[in-house]
Amino acid sequence: MNKPLVAILSGAGISTDSGIPDYRGPNGLWRRDPEAQRLVTYEFYMSDPEIRRQSWQMRRKNRTLRAEPNAAHRAVAELERAGVPVRVITQNVDGLHQLAGLSDRKVLELHGSARSVVCTKCHARGPMEDALARVEAGEEDPPCLECGGILKSATVMFGERLDPMVLGEALAITKACQVFIAVGTSLQVHPAAGLTGVAADHGARLVIVNAEPTPYDDRADDIIRQPIGTALPELLSRLGSAP
């Protein structure tokens, strides 16, 4: 008997055990420091060299590149190794699903990746670590080495739209899956949150694993409020061993 296709929509909550703070929770970065949003807003970033300098310093101090996958990330990779077809649609930019062992092609990064930089002019890409090394060496706002254009993190900033190819693929997976698990996400940021409703509309079993209530709780087949680091591994272990 074929195993069901499992789609996992992951948000910031899956990575907090790895030391990466969430952004919109009760103690999230945007609530503590609304000014920080300016550093990741495309319009401000492109027009103000001082904003770019501050952004590069923020990236230097960012814990994302030093973070390691936690039990929840590893459980997703283990589910795939158990022979269950898994696709991850993530709102996170930390790359921890891949570091845990899931292949790149099975992870759709809706908001891009903090592990790369991209030129806003010629679209050349490179490792974030190389750009940060240039900042450490004294370049306050390192330009693109290919064309001299403005470099930014390969993440989707406020004011930028999501990659339509990535979003289209996420939608196709959502419509095709038999089980849809939304984990560690407030389900308030669209269009990502809307995938939850699409999954339910197409008959998927909807499971929400999140500490706080979400707008989609009334459509869920199961709601799990326990800590993600223990709840998700238990849930996926049951899924992996189910006939």
Give the residue numbers annotated as catalytic, written as ranges. 111
Q: Residue 59: which residues within 8 A CB-CB, separation 6 or more? A: 114, 128, 132, 135, 153
User: In Å, how far are 24, 37, 218 from 143, measured between CA atoms?
Assistant: 31, 22, 48
Name every residue whose Cβ is closer than 8 Å to that of residue 24 and which is 6 or more positions away in sequence: 12, 30, 31, 186, 188, 189
Distance, in Å, from the CA atom of 184 to the CA atom of 190, rounded to the nearest integer, reads 15
Q: Residue 79 belongs to what H/E stretch?
A: helix 71-81
**Residue with token string 């790895």:** 18
